[in-house]
Chains A and B, each alone.
Chain A
């Protein structure tokens, strides 16, 4: 019985893993980058690179909120929603946005502007780019497809990941030993060691991130408890859980709102020391108008922000929410918070990032190992099956293609002219074009030579990125270090490190190619 359980788990691990590994690699890759979502967005907006962060961030907020809301009072009277994002530890500027009243059945358009937190003047020349938001969305909404379909696909892959992790732990006879074992240059053994090492070292992270990832989509996956507990279904549950999220429809009857400055001052008289993350006005000047203050949760393991909701006509506090949680709410909310990692200080954020990369290595090495094993077992005169060639092609396309695509995305951000219409979308198209190019090459042929060429291409691209950045913006790595702009310096250093890793890889592959010309010849013969 024990033996059969072990064998069934080995089988399950191999096949669930292989079926979804490429989609999972994309999810892990984009998700890992998303831990630095705000930093990537910051990098993609050179106009704000030199906006100085403030020493007394929280103290300055009262004036900033007033200024931003007054700007909206003056410029967006007819809007459906006003939205103000305050500077945080990771974002230096004030975001001032408003949403139009949409036409019948349509959603209104958002208009975004940005303010210098020091001078409270609006910043021009904001670049039309999604920045880090692209990777964040790609991570669970994919692209070029319906969101709901994408989310079900991502959930399916994540479920298989979870199954792969559990079965992976079962088939591990020596989990502790694997932590210290890496046998270099031993073919499939080396890949197995890489797979084990990256899995075992970051196992708590892998399990946590997969489980909590599924929990973020849980009301799509398992709406049934909410549906059975509430006769009116999921909506009634959300209305009960979070009344502050409920939007009354615009009635069209206008009211005279109190001046925003007065409302803000009143909030600060009652709650003087709160660190505010965002301020929203729903339906300004309508009788349903509400002013909401959201507090920054900082480093707390909490995702839902505490919120204060005010009536804008008489300045009455209507409700506060998310200030204390029940045990179930804490369980649920802390899982979301762990997944998004918004809580973390830079050190922990880097740990998340490194663990995410370990996840990519785990998935990638597993996929490569499968193909290597089949190749090793093949007899000399056997030709590779279509399945094997497909797996090899997809491995190469995914593992080496995504870095190429990402580099293309960053180059597009620096090189496309600001006036280009549909610029943000064009950046994304270039990401996928870059990937498509690699994929076509990989599916045509995926031997050692192709791996080496793509490693070289990646090395060149990632080395060129900081250079391109230095040529197209005011700053460069040296000036970043002198001005202590660590986010930008970190970005460049990471690019150079990536380039170095790919260079080393290409050298290794070259020596491998040189060492086994005969074998390669045989492999080439089979691949054709």
Chain B
């Protein structure tokens, strides 16, 4: 009874909207942060240049991810791809930086 109640709540419109905004704002932010950090680590430029290039592009990455989150119909797919790609990039970054 309680579980089915919670189940319907998870499918309600307000929850789905909030969840999508959460994915876009917070998920997109974390994803972009990892992506541009990785970019700075891989471009063959002097350190200051790679950082400047990465931060200059960070808003572009963020905005694209944001729009993409709202363009995909299935919310699960959104979370799945964000988490999967984000983790892969974070692992790659950690590998390059020798944190592992």
Contacts and interface: CB of A to CB of B under 8 A. Distances in A.
Q: Taking each of B33, B48, B58, B67, which has the highest tally of chain A beta carbons within 10 Å of its own beta carbon?
A: B48
B56 A332 contact: yes
A222 B32 contact: yes
Contacts of A12: 67, 70
A167 B67 CA distance: 8
Interface of B: 32-34, 36-37, 39-41, 45-56, 58-60, 62-63, 66-67, 70-71, 73, 93, 97
A331 B53 contact: yes
Nearest to B49: A328
Contacts of B63: 159, 162-163, 166
Interface stretch (A143-151, A225-233, A286-294, A355-363): A225-233
B50 A228 contact: no
A151 to B, nearest CB: 15
Contacts of A229: 40-41, 47, 50-51
A219 B55 contact: yes
A225 B40 contact: yes
B51 A218 contact: no
A5 B68 CA distance: 10
Nearest to A223: B55
A174 B82 CA distance: 33
Question: What 9 pairs across the A-B complex have the smallest Cβ distances?
Answer: A225-B40, A328-B49, A225-B54, A328-B52, A222-B58, A328-B53, A332-B52, A228-B37, A224-B37
Interface of A: 4-5, 8-9, 11-12, 159, 162-163, 166-167, 211, 214-215, 218-219, 221-222, 224-230, 237, 240-241, 326-329, 331-332, 335
Binding site of B, secondary structure by majority: helix, strand, loop or mixed?
helix
Contacts of A224: 33-34, 36-37
9 contacts: A218-B55, A222-B55, A222-B59, A225-B39, A225-B55, A229-B47, A328-B50, A332-B52, A332-B53
Contacts of B46: 326
Given A222-B32, A224-B37, A163 B67 contact: yes
A335 B32 CA distance: 20
Contacts of A237: 47-48, 51
Contacts of A331: 52-53, 56
Given A162-B63, A163-B66, A328-B49, A215 B55 contact: yes
B56 A221 contact: no
Nearest to B30: A224
A222 B36 CA distance: 9
Contacts of B73: 4
A328 B40 contact: no
Contacts of B67: 9, 12, 163, 166-167
A443 B32 CA distance: 39
Contacts of A329: 48-49, 52
B45 to A, nearest CB: 6
Nearest to A238: B48
B59 A228 contact: no
B40 A228 contact: yes
Nearest to A226: B51
B56 A328 contact: yes
A323 B96 CA distance: 33
B40 A215 contact: no
A218 B56 contact: yes
A9 B71 contact: yes
A226 B59 contact: no
A19 to B, nearest CB: 10
B49 A218 contact: no
Contacts of A211: 59-60
B64 to A, nearest CB: 9
A9 B41 CA distance: 34
A332 B55 contact: yes
Given A8-B71, A215-B59, A225 B37 contact: yes
Contacts of A9: 67, 70-71
A162 B59 contact: yes
A211 B41 CA distance: 23
B59 A214 contact: yes
A331 B52 CA distance: 8
A167 B66 CA distance: 10
A4 B71 CA distance: 8
A237 B34 CA distance: 18
A328 B70 CA distance: 31
A270 to B, nearest CB: 27
Given A166-B67, A221-B58, A326-B46, 12 more contacts: A8-B71, A163-B67, A167-B67, A218-B56, A222-B59, A225-B37, A226-B55, A228-B41, A237-B47, A328-B50, A331-B56, A335-B56
Contacts of B34: 224
A328 B39 CA distance: 13
Nearest to B63: A162
Nearest to A162: B63
Contacts of B71: 5, 8-9
A286 to B, nearest CB: 29
A215 B56 contact: yes
A218 B59 contact: yes
A191 B48 CA distance: 47
